[in-house]
Amino acid sequence: MGLFDTLKNEFIDIIEWTDDATDIILWKFPRYQNEIKMNAKLTVRESQVAIFLNEGVIADVFPAGMYTLNTQNMPILATLKGWKYGFDSPFKADVFFINTKQFTNQKWGTKNPIMLRDAEFGPVRLRAFGSFAFRVNDAGKFLKEVAGTNGEFTVDAINEQLRNLAVTRGMDAVAESKIPVLDLASNYDEVSAIIGDKIKPEFNELGLDLTKFLIENISLPPEVEAALDKRSSMGIIGNLGAYSQFQAANAMEAAANNPNGGLMGAGLAAGMGVGMMNQMGNVFQPQSVTPPAGGMTQPPPLPASSVYFVAVNGAQTGPFTLPQLQTMAQSGKLNRSSLVWTQGMNGWLAAETQTELAGLFASVPPPIA
């Protein structure tokens, strides 16, 4: 490298940032040990802002345009440097370029269900997700509050914080809106606007502007959605009697079209349909009971069934109900002379002496002689 090249590299005379990335918000011009030449050319492209720092203090801010750097268009830096009467020698300053374009399609979503209280269903758990867009609206504030003096600052470095703001403030706004859960899907635009207004001030505190906030989906837990589907199905069915007739008509049509079933199949289907309709109608229609004379609104209790104890080999067994005694008589474990006792009897008597037991032996064959 010749002497001319060495001297040339000691000074910077062109300052610009050709943004070839889509996710960089801030980029520091690599000055290293070189000094900026007075009357150097500064190019700030559309959707860019250039900030000059002097010893860590923000000096002059340049919007889009082409500039020839001198003391006239750097008044703050000239004051900080003490250039009261003009100065043409090279100087040192940190130059940061801020990308002011919109960063779109930034995703947000709840990591876990959020518990809310709904007027109709009570406590419910909701999940939500969507997208948002933002841009830098105050380059100086963003540099001081967020990026600092990093050489490069990307969207990923702040996205997590912005997503947390969207979820926390957003779901709080949903709760405050008092919109019923079942009406949220038809009010996504309104809810998005409510959430956007809720979190814009906090974006502004970081030097950012929330340009778009969208809700893509708000959902309930799968088991709750399944219950709602069943509820909706019952509402669609409506009149169960009419639905039964419709089902019966379909069955008749299917049977009539069946070459193997013919008219018999159609008649059978009709009978089944009518029967199903009657059964379903009886199940879902309230049953009316005519009260008897005297004002009684409930029928009297059924009489209690008799139970008997049976003496087997000198030991008491039971108690047994009449159906159980019927089975014992048929198997030979109970015969006419078996001793029995029930409440109200003074002592043990043969089974054939009891009127309601005598009939148990009518179908039992006599012993073989």
Q: What domains does the chain contain, in order, with CATH numbers?
A: 3-99 (no CATH), 103-135+155-221 (3.30.479.30), 224-272 (no CATH), 307-361 (3.30.1490)
Contact status, residue 10 vs residue 35, Cβ threshold 8 Å:
yes
More confident call, 5 vs 70: 70
* pLDDT above 60 (res 24): yes
DSSP structure string for 9-76: HTEEEEE------SSEEEEE---TT-EEEEEEEEEE-TTEEEEEEETTEEEEEE-SEEEE-STTT-HH
* pLDDT above 80 (res 203): yes
> How many CB atoms are closer than 10 A to CB 222?
8
The letter for the amino acid at 349 is L
* Average pLDDT over every residue of 254-260: 66
* pLDDT above 50 (res 6): no
Q: What is the CA radius of gyration of the chain?
A: 46
- Helices 188-204 and 156-177, axial angle in degrees (round to 10): 130
Contact status, residue 89 vs residue 132, Cβ threshold 8 Å:
no
- Look at residues 184, 182, 207, 183 and name the one whose alpha carbon lies nearest to residue 195: 184
What burial letters (b/e) apply to 256-275, b meaning 16+ CB within 10 Å?
beeeeeeeebbeebbeebee
**Where is average pLDDT lowest: 8-12, 36-40, 140-144?**
8-12
Which residues have a Cβ under 8 Å from the Cβ of 271 and sit 6 or more positions away? none
* pLDDT above 60 (res 274): no
Q: What's the mean per-residue pLDDT of the chain?
A: 78
How does pLDDT run across 302-347, given as a tens digit for each residue? 566 678 888 888 888 888 888 888 888 888 888 888 888 888 788 8
Percent of the chain with pLDDT over 90: 21
Contact status, residue 38 vs residue 89, Cβ threshold 8 Å:
yes
pTM of this structure: 0.57
**Residue 290 three-state SS:** coil
* pLDDT above 90 (res 41): yes
* pLDDT above 70 (res 281): no
How far is CA 45 from its chain centroid? 44
* Average pLDDT over every residue of 199-220: 90
* pLDDT above 80 (res 261): no
The pLDDT of residue 271 is: 52
* pLDDT above 60 (res 7): no
* Average pLDDT over every residue of 42-63: 92
Q: Round to whole Å and give the CA distance between 102 and 100.
A: 7
More confident call, 273 vs 114: 114
β-pair partners for 54: 57
